[in-house]
Chains A and B, each alone.
Chain A
Amino acid sequence: MLEERVLAIQDVKVYFERRERLIGRKTVIHAVDGVTLVLGRGETLSLVGESGSGKSTLARTVLKLNTPVEGAILFHNQDIFKQDRRQSKAYRRRVQMIFQDPYESLNPQSTVFNAVTEPRVIHGLASDRSEKEEAASRLLALVGLDPSTKLYRYPHELSGGERQRVAIARALSLEPELLVADEPVSMLDVSIRLGVLNLLQTLKQNLNLTYLVITHDLGVARYIGTRIAVMYFGQIVEIAETDELINNPKHHYTNLLLSSIPGTENPQPLAAGADVDFSYSAAEPPSGCRFHTRCPMAQEKCASIVPKLTEIANGHFAACHYPLTK
């Protein structure tokens, strides 16, 4: 299916421990609980799911900002958690992140010039002034900003859309292969979101990039994604080509998500299972299929046996004992 594997996430589990001092009880948050994913070169994989489903944790783990308790992440077949210092630095150059909030991800005391050249200085790609200026101008032009007017601006002098473009330029400054974008447009105004999404598309083609995009917005996922993976309670419940997933969902949770999309174009009413069951949390997830407490089709088996992510149709995987049929 995929020509070249850029990233392979293998049964990754990321847990956080929380100690409640007064009671002395230890709770373990199962933020990501056994995720397996493969990203092919040139692909855009969108991770969707509700807040708390573990999508950001998974993304941060790819960036080595979290360490998994189990499983491995391979980048070009090399385990990123078994790298030496030099390999690790090289990896960090090839994988970059775009954060959600450009108001927080840029240093307010640092000019655009500094923001986009500092990574290059740290990685020894630029040393003298002219080299830096050349690189900065090129990067700004790449993201659709005019270097002659924006290069020496501070973040507060830029609009939200311009800031996010600077953040993208900084991510590109190290010529990465893989960009991880965590809700790249959700903080932006509606009228400028599309400009940033279109920019990401153009950059991907021109620079031969691979994207892992985290979004809660299925419209955004569909607009930029080649495939969509749906997360629920730290696990992937369904993964398929974008239109296949939207037109032909197999997992009942995906179906619920789709049925809740607002707007008059939505062909179906809200599916069953919308009510959240509070007796469970990431510290104590439900047994068996984690959606069984809400699922309209749940049978006995669903409460006891964890469904495996299996291929139902070509390239379409779902983790459900009783998948939807059309």
Chain B
Amino acid sequence: MTANPSTRGQEGDQVLDIRNLTVSYKTESGYVKAVDDVSFTVNKGEILGLAGESACGKTTTALSIMRLLAPNAVVNGQILFDNKDVLQMPEDELRNFRWKGVSLIPQGSMNSLDPVIQVGKQIVEAIRAHESVSRADAWKTTEKLLSSVSIHPTRAKNYPHEFSGGMKQRAVTAMALALNPRLVIADEPTTALDVVVQKQLLLVLRNLQKSLGISFIFVSHDLSVIGEIADRVAVMYAGKIVEIGRKDMVLKHPSHPYTQALVNSVPKVFGNRQLLESIPGSPPTGVWPEGCRFHPRCKFVFDLCRQKEPELQLAATGCLAACHLVSKTDREEIVLK
């Protein structure tokens, strides 16, 4: 698939341009594909939500942008940042790209703060490892960073155990911002947090996006969280992007049956209370079905779905969806539902 115009932003507005990314892991029993021909862009100052269930390839996608995959991973395609392919970058350039270009908040990283070093000092170390600034200046920057994530600068001298979970998560977010990256990838940053604390972090991220113009890739399995934070949403299933587009369209008027089923299967706190329809089966792991990967679980399945893998195509909502129904004329039922 060539990257379709509507997965892309305006020329010049893109921070990141991923083209035909494919990642396989070499195992004892052969190659296992984790990400298959994924293309998308991240625009300047936007939050792209990357949604999907476990093992759908979202973390692999995130890590491959940072070139942090395990040595047994085989990566193909292009990841363009400033017109340079990250996948071809030599080590010294990569060092500059990480943290200054794109930084990562790995899954569960709030628990990887060093327990015996003051939180502020850990951020200072990160700054001084990349830039030759004085310790005093780095402390000043650190205090500013902490206030930008709503942590009082006096807390910089605290140790991680003196922070709550939410504060630790905000501290690692501050650390990710330490070298003014243009894009931050946050992998399930709110997953271990209580709902109130989660909301606070979401507000902090929104604020950072607005005040600093930073772009985010926000990886999460939680559609409500994605619905709150993202501008655009990419939904992954079995290593593929099955739908991508503006958040309000993808989540309120989904074009792909998987997105639709997923949206409909989340019990809501507000709005109508009704019996929801569950999706039969479970997501495939390791071996993907022939044809459309969602077809064994899809209630709209027809012959073509079993034979031919659908490509992303423009749906009526302006989103791209990889579903044969999108181009089918009798697709009212799915659009209307």
> How far, in angstroms, from A195 to B282 measured CA to CA in the complex?
10
Contact A262/B282 with A189-B221, A193-B265, A246-B269 known, Cβ cut-off 8 Å: no
Tell me, yes or no, whether B287 is within 8 Å of chain A by CB.
no
Interface centre among A193, A261, A278 (most CB of B within 10 A): A261
> How far, in angstroms, from A161 to B283 measured CA to CA in the complex?
10
Question: Which of A160, A195, A261 lies in contact with B224, CB distance below 8 A?
Answer: A261
Tell me, yes or no, whether B74 is within 8 Å of chain A by CB.
no
Q: State whether A194 touches B282 (Cβ < 8 A).
A: no
Interface centre among B53, B265, B271 (most CB of A within 10 A): B265
Interface centre among A190, A219, A261 (most CB of B within 10 A): A190
Nearest CB of chain B from residue A191's CB, rounded to whole Å: 4
Nearest CB of chain A from residue B246's CB, rounded to whole Å: 13
Nearest CB of chain B from residue A102's CB, rounded to whole Å: 12
Q: Which residues of the other chain, A, contact B279 by a CB distance below 8 angstroms?
A: 191-192, 194-195
Q: Which residues of the other chain, A, contact B130 by a CB distance below 8 angstroms?
A: none
> How far, in angstroms, from A190 to B278 measured CA to CA in the complex?
10
One of A81-89, A120-128, A252-260, A308-316 at the interface = A252-260
Q: State whether A195 touches B278 (Cβ < 8 A).
A: yes
One of A11-19, A107-115, A266-274 at the interface = A266-274
Q: State whether B262 touches A192 (Cβ < 8 A).
A: no
Q: State whether B53 touches A260 (Cβ < 8 A).
A: no
Q: State whether B196 touches A257 (Cβ < 8 A).
A: yes
Question: Which of A191, A198, A220 lies in contact with B283, CB distance below 8 A?
Answer: A191
Nearest CB of chain B from residue A224's CB, rounded to whole Å: 8
Tell me, yes or no, whether B254 is within 8 Å of chain A by CB.
no
Contact A191/B271 with A256-B196, A262-B199 known, Cβ cut-off 8 Å: no
Instruction: Across the interface, name the chain B residue whose C-beta is closest to A258.
Output: B269
> How far, in angstroms, from A263 to B226 measured CA to CA in the complex?
8
**Could you give, for residues 266-287 of chain A, a 1 whenever the CB lies within 8 Å of some chain B CB and a 0 otherwise?**
1100100011101000000000
Interface centre among B199, B221, B224, B269 (most CB of A within 10 A): B269
What's the tally of chain B residues with a CB closer than 8 Å to chain A? 43
Nearest CB of chain B from residue A30's CB, rounded to whole Å: 19
> How far, in angstroms, from A218 to B275 measured CA to CA in the complex?
16
> How far, in angstroms, from A276 to B151 measured CA to CA in the complex?
12
What's the tally of chain A residues with a CB closer than 8 Å to chain B? 41
Q: Which residues of the other chain, B, contact A190 by a CB distance below 8 angstroms?
A: 53, 221-223, 262, 265-266
Tell me, yes or no, whether A152 is within 8 Å of chain B by CB.
no
**Could you give, for residues 153-174 of chain A, a 1 whenever the CB lies within 8 Å of some chain B CB and a 0 otherwise?**
0000001111000000000000
Q: Which residues of the other chain, B, contact A246 by a CB distance below 8 angstroms?
A: 269-270
**Could you give, for residues 242-283 of chain B, a 1 whenever the CB lies within 8 Å of some chain A CB and a 0 otherwise?**
000000100000000000011001111111010111111011
Q: State whether B276 touches A194 (Cβ < 8 A).
A: yes
Question: Which of A194, A216, A275, A278 lies in contact with B195, CB distance below 8 A?
Answer: A216
Q: Which residues of the other chain, A, contact B228 by a CB distance below 8 angstroms?
A: 262-264
Question: Which of A191, A197, A216, A267 lies in contact with B270, CB distance below 8 A?
Answer: A267
Tell me, yes or no, whether B28 is within 8 Å of chain A by CB.
no
Question: Which of B166, B221, B266 lies in contact with A276, CB distance below 8 A?
Answer: B166
> How far, in angstroms, from A275 to B196 measured CA to CA in the complex?
9
Nearest CB of chain A from residue B158's CB, rounded to whole Å: 10
> How far, in angstroms, from A189 to B270 measured CA to CA in the complex?
22
Q: State whether A265 touches B270 (Cβ < 8 A).
A: yes
Instruction: Across the interface, name the chain B residue whose C-beta is closest to A294.
Output: B196
Q: State whether A276 touches B203 (Cβ < 8 A).
A: no
Contact A243/B282 with A190-B53, A274-B196 known, Cβ cut-off 8 Å: no
Contact A263/B227 with A189-B54, A216-B195, A276-B164 known, Cβ cut-off 8 Å: yes
Can you report 28 residue pairs joining A to B where beta carbons are below 8 Å apart? A50-B194, A51-B194, A189-B54, A190-B222, A190-B262, A191-B262, A191-B265, A194-B276, A195-B278, A195-B280, A216-B195, A219-B224, A219-B269, A222-B273, A223-B273, A246-B269, A246-B270, A256-B196, A257-B196, A259-B199, A261-B199, A262-B224, A262-B225, A263-B228, A270-B199, A270-B200, A274-B197, A274-B199
By Cβ-Cβ distance, the 10 closest A-B pairs, closest first, are A223-B267, A260-B199, A195-B278, A194-B278, A219-B267, A263-B224, A50-B194, A159-B282, A194-B265, A262-B228
